[in-house]
Amino acid sequence: MTDAQTPPVLILLGPPGAGKGTQARMLEEKFGLVQLSTGDLLRGAVAAGTEAGKAAKAVMEAGQLVSDEIVIAVLKDRLGDDDTRNGVILDGFPRTTAQAEALDGLLAASGQKINAAISLEVEDEAMVERISGRYTCAKCGEGYHDSFKTPAVDGTCDKCGSTEFKRRADDNAETVRSRLVAYHEQTAPLIDFYQGRGVLKEVPAMGAIEEIAGALNAIVGQAKT
């Protein structure tokens, strides 16, 4: 491992629909890493009843946003758990440079650091097509796409034979474009931040899942040596 056996810490950046979840699960299986998203962290801390979890619960029940300080405290507790000994992948945190700086401080206190901030690079209009074309079988949940994966028999699910399908309300071109604009505005400073620290890795993410996984495996493998 890196730096006297300290577990590597990786950040996965990419807009909604870029495949972060799929790739993170594959990295978990291959390298024994643990994917940590902000939502999962907060829910876990609330369920465990930690001090940070209690603070987060009070804020969320009041309908307010959880502060950076609370998120950092929750993350600190989580990084102390045994299952993170092989390293973690942070998904959705940090979102701002202030959070990135706070994260650096937290890791430095335990002798850790960000080993790589991996940005999944996608084409905006291709992402609009990819996401807005998605739909699922209303009965069994089998996934389909207007362009890339249609049922063998039009209007009938290949898996269960149902004729009912559904689309997520936010899987439309206008909403996807808005989410991409917001992502670029929020993430651009982070790209510069980690590029300045020499840990930014950019991975083209419009190809086959296996090709993207290969590029990620090479980066993570280097981070763990």
Concerning whether 95 is annotated as a catalytic residue, the answer is yes
25 as an active site residue: the answer is no
Q: Is 130 a catalytic residue?
A: no
Strands 114-121 and 200-204, by their bridges, are: parallel
* Residue 85 is a catalytic residue: no
Q: Which of 25, 149, 166, 168 is catalytic?
A: 168
Please spell the DSSP secondary structure of 66-82, one letter per residue: PPHHHHHHHHHHHHTSG
* Rg (the chain; Cα; Å): 19
Catalytic residue among 54, 95, 139, 167: 95
Out of 54, 134, 139, 224, pick the active-site residue: 134
CA angle 141, 147, 153 (to 5 degrees): 60
Closest by CA position to 115, among listed 23, 225, 189: 225
**SS3 state of residue 129:** helix
Beta bridge partners of 165: 137
CA distance 71 to 92: 12
Is 134 known to be catalytic? yes
- Catalytic center residues: 20, 95, 134, 168, 179
